[in-house]
Structure 1
């Protein structure tokens, strides 16, 4: 079967995208608007970019209702700051409570019953219940269209990390203790408890 994504309706193309790129890490992004109202939303188009400078990225899509910018993106463009909170198994249920498109004056921390805690460098609060929180300053936003189905790539520099001692050991994150989750298609999530080791090939292996 061969498919030309540009020839499909955006929803059909979206289904192929989220069904093919799996599992996807989840960025639970907290922001604050110019009036001081907190916002909290999850995005599964999330990844790391480089360690020096420490850059992370996530990509909010345009709203499916009217192609408008989501509150998270608008807040970041206004304040140039955000926090990425890592989602583990314990956070899946409250995170899901933030999925609806609430009006800008709604604080999703209250909707989800989660605890905002002050950041040290940026203004947006962190999610206390998250085992890893990354305070970020905006580097760049790349807009990729304005129609429904389009999105924007947000690049942020992590200026401070907060890591729970329970998941940190010898300079590394213990994946078994972190219990991070990934997003599949639809309402399906993936655990990171089923892992296997395989030595990566090097140039010496070909000699």
Structure 2
């Protein structure tokens, strides 16, 4: 099957993008509004773009209504600072709940029940309990013609690394259990390997479906429910 991208509306294209670009790391972004209200939201259009200076990229779409800027972007634009916290399996429910489009005057740390920890060099707090966090200052913002889609490039000014994870200048990621995104669902990274692998092992895994950790059926997808929106927000 071939699908011409020119024939797709934004929602249809988004469904195909999030189903093909997998797994995606989650930037659990903490910000402060200009008035000092805390905000917390997961963003899975996230990657690194440079190493000297260390620089990351996050892409922020509008809210579920398709017309209102997300609080995370407004805060980043207005203050120039943000923190990307690593999301891990024990925090999965809090990560998911923080994807709701709360009102701008709601402190999502308090609403979701996530504790704040002071950052070292920026004003927004990091997530207490998150093993890794990148404190960032805005380098550049790229906006779509309508101003609703925005890509933020941020320079990492400070790395927070939990003490036991820092080994000879590297991260012991095997002790973290990070979660990522698969379309509208989540996955946990719980295995690692270096090629080559045994042919029998490769054949065994190639024929298996992913193992669901919840109680849903094999072909279940939140995209087919009313709780999903093409903004990435959770609808309550």
Q: When the two structures are superposed, what TM-score results if normalisation uses the length of structure 2?
A: 0.79
Give me the whole-angstrom Cα distance separating, in 2, the residues matched to 1:66 and 1:183: 21
Aligned residue for 1:3, secondary structure, equals coil
Note the alpha carbon deviations across 1:55-93, whole angstroms, 9 max, x for none. 011111122304221001011110000011011111111
- Equivalent pairs counted in the alignment come to 196
Residue 180 of structure 1: CA displacement?
1.0
Write out aligned runs for 1:159-198 (5 A). Answer: 159-186=157-184, 188-198=185-195
Residue 156 of structure 1: CA displacement?
0.3
Aligned residue for 2:109, secondary structure, equals helix
Residue 172 of structure 1: CA displacement?
0.9
User: Partner of 2:104 in structure 1?
Assistant: 104
Give me the whole-angstrom Cα distance separating, in 1, the residues matched to 2:161 and 2:120: 13
Residue 95 of structure 1: CA displacement?
1.0
Give me the whole-angstrom Cα distance separating, in 2, the residues matched to 1:23 and 1:172: 22
User: Partner of 2:207 in structure 1?
Assistant: none
Note the alpha carbon deviations across 1:157-204, whole angstroms, 9 max, x for none. 000111002322121111211211110012x212221222027xxxxx
Give me the whole-angstrom Cα distance separating, in 1, the residues matched to 2:118 and 2:7: 46
Aligned residue for 1:59, secondary structure, equals strand
Give me the whole-angstrom Cα distance separating, in 2, the residues matched to 1:109 and 1:5: 38
Asked if the contact 1:82–1:137 (Cα under 8 Å) also holds between the matched residues in 2, the reply is: yes
Asked if the contact 1:67–1:146 (Cα under 8 Å) also holds between the matched residues in 2, the reply is: no
Aligned residue for 1:2, secondary structure, equals coil
Give me the whole-angstrom Cα distance separating, in 2, the residues matched to 1:27 and 1:164: 17
Aligned residue for 2:98, secondary structure, equals coil
1:46 aligns with 2:42: no
Aligned residue for 2:60, secondary structure, equals coil
CA RMSD of superposed structures (Å): 1.5
Q: Structure 2 stretches of 5 or more lacking a match?
A: 197-236
Give me the whole-angstrom Cα distance separating, in 1, the residues matched to 2:187 and 2:68: 30
Give me the whole-angstrom Cα distance separating, in 2, the residues matched to 1:144 and 1:66: 13
User: Partner of 2:210 in structure 1?
Assistant: none
User: Partner of 1:56 in structure 2?
Assistant: 56
